[in-house]
């Protein structure tokens, strides 16, 4: 068991139009977003957590 950080869960804002298109395409393709899974100390990465929209 581990923890994820809320800032890792939130979607990133696009910095330019090209990046926005890339984000939209990945969402349309139902690609999972992988974020770090942390140990109880909140620093040690013990695995990955996949978010599927």
> What was the pLDDT predicted at 12?
72
pTM value is: 0.62
Mean pLDDT of 41-51: 93
Residues near 22 by Cβ (< 8 Å), separated by ≥ 6? Answer: 14
Distances (CA, A) of 41 to 7, 9, 22, 32: 17, 19, 34, 26
pLDDT at residue 46 is higher than 90: yes
Question: Helix (H, G, I), strand (E, B), or coil: what is residue 35?
Answer: strand
More confident residue, 15 or 33: 15
- Over residues 16-45, the pLDDT tens digits come to 999 989 888 877 777 788 899 999 999 999
Q: What is the C-alpha separation between 38 and 21, in angstroms, rounded?
A: 30
pLDDT at residue 53 is higher than 70: no
> What was the pLDDT predicted at 30?
75
């Amino acid at each position: 068991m581990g923890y994820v950080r809320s800032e890792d869960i939130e979607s990133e804002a696009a910095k330019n139009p090209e990046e926005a298109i890339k984000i939209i395409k990945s969402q349309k393709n139902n690609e999972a977003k992988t974020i770090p899974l942390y140990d109880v100390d909140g620093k040690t990465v013990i695995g990955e957590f996949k978010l599927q929209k």
